[in-house]
Amino acid sequence: MSILVNKNTRVLIQGITGTQASFHVKRSQDDGTNIVAGVSPNYERAEYLDVPVYKTVREAVSGNAVDASVLFVPARFVKSAAREAVEAEIPLIVSITHGVPVHDMLEIKAMLKGSKTMMIGPNTPGIITPNEARLGIFPENINQKGCIGIVSRASTLTYEAVLETNKAGLGQSTVVGLGDDLIVGTDYPQIIEHFCNDDETKAIVLVGKPDNLYEQMAAEYYAKLKNKKPIIAFIAGEEMPLMPTMGYAVDIITHGLSTVRNKKEIMQKSGMIVVDRTSEIHTQLEKIFRK
């Protein structure tokens, strides 16, 4: 098993004829991803990379059953592309795009609320279930099928977490990059819930960042969970000073608990295993699975 995506997931690519999309669609196809359709408003042919191409998402879903969509579109078009996917009731959308305006993301979050759609991203490598489905730009050659779920807000460090699970000989069930931006479509609790309900996932690796309150929210959720699986957490940027432009606002928003050290303390109290370096992840996994 896995979460959110697998070999049966029928994938739509919005912006399929772009340069980056072309490169990554081919890699995803080679990795086993079931890409059933593409959207490109100005493309005049019926197919691209052996995939049927449509002018709109509405046309694409009328001719194909679609479970997920990947948005390979410029930042200024993410909002309209997301709206098309939400209106088409596609269950999952993934946006890899960097630089989506904060105001647009606020509107997208409003669209998602109460809809049938979950959004991963923006500014994410995407989501991958090894050898089954690759939605985004993950370097699939480093992934190994296994039993550790990974959820991360730091793209490059996600790859380090993958390598650490490989080093422990455990591999990954699914890897989810929530996105590096200040506002992302999905929070940790939703992904943790999916992993805890997945029989194949035996433990979770969580990679966090110094900004925002996402990690505190994850800790609060985990502390209340009854059906818990072990979570090994790493938070990047412990030595990083707060930006001087933040002033006192950050302390007001976070009730004074605004540092990485604060985050780590809260996560430890929730029952998570907190490590100081990514290189400690495989050691902690080995301890868990020796029991």
The answer to whether residue 137 is domain-embedded is no
Q: Which of 75, 93, 123 marks a domain boundary?
A: 123
pLDDT at site 290: 83
Regarding whether 93 and 49 lie in a shared domain, the answer is yes
The answer to whether residue 6 is domain-embedded is yes
CATH number of the domain residue 178 falls in: 3.40.50.261
Write down the pTM of the prediction: 0.93
Regarding whether 116 and 164 lie in a shared domain, the answer is no
Regarding whether 190 and 225 lie in a shared domain, the answer is yes
Regarding whether 242 and 163 lie in a shared domain, the answer is yes
Regarding whether 285 and 153 lie in a shared domain, the answer is yes
Regarding whether 106 and 50 lie in a shared domain, the answer is yes
- pLDDT score of 73 more than 60: yes
Plot region of 114 (φ>0 → left; ψ -120 to 50 → alpha; else → beta): left
How many domains does one find in the chain?
2
Q: Provide the residue range defining the domain that includes 196.
A: 144-291
Regarding whether 153 and 11 lie in a shared domain, the answer is no
pLDDT at site 166: 98
Regarding whether 153 and 84 lie in a shared domain, the answer is no
pLDDT at site 259: 79
pLDDT at site 245: 46
The answer to whether residue 181 is domain-embedded is yes
Report the alpha-carbon distance of residue 115 to residue 77 in Å, rounded: 20
Regarding whether 225 and 94 lie in a shared domain, the answer is no
Secondary structure (3-state) at 216 = helix
pLDDT at site 232: 98
- As a whole number, mean pLDDT of residues 90-95 equals 98
Q: Which of 240, 278, 279, 284 is nearest to 260 (CA)?
A: 240
pLDDT digit string, tens, across residues 136-181: 999 999 999 999 999 999 999 999 999 999 999 999 999 999 999 9
The answer to whether residue 25 is domain-embedded is yes
Cis before residue 122, ω within 30 degrees of 0?
yes
Q: Which of 69, 89, 123 marks a domain boundary?
A: 123
- pLDDT score of 107 more than 50: yes
pLDDT at site 212: 82
pLDDT at site 268: 97
Regarding whether 92 and 171 lie in a shared domain, the answer is no
Regarding whether 118 and 32 lie in a shared domain, the answer is yes
Taking all residues of the chain, what is their mean pLDDT, rounded to a whole number?
93
pLDDT at site 244: 45
Res. 227 pLDDT band, cuts 50 70 90: confident
- One-character DSSP codes across 69-89: EEE---GGGHHHHHHHHHHTT
Q: Which of 145, 260, 164, 264 is nearest to 205 (CA)?
A: 164
CATH number of the domain residue 13 falls in: 3.40.50.720
Backbone angles phi, psi at 188, to 5 degrees: -55, -45
The answer to whether residue 132 is domain-embedded is no
The answer to whether residue 130 is domain-embedded is no
- pLDDT score of 69 more than 70: yes
pLDDT digit string, tens, across residues 186-218: 999 999 999 999 999 999 999 999 888 899 999
Q: Which of 94, 123, 152 marks a domain boundary?
A: 123
pLDDT digit string, tens, across residues 230-281: 999 999 987 655 544 444 445 555 555 567 888 999 999 999 999 999 999 9
- As a whole number, mean pLDDT of residues 94-107 equals 97
The answer to whether residue 133 is domain-embedded is no
Regarding whether 70 and 168 lie in a shared domain, the answer is no
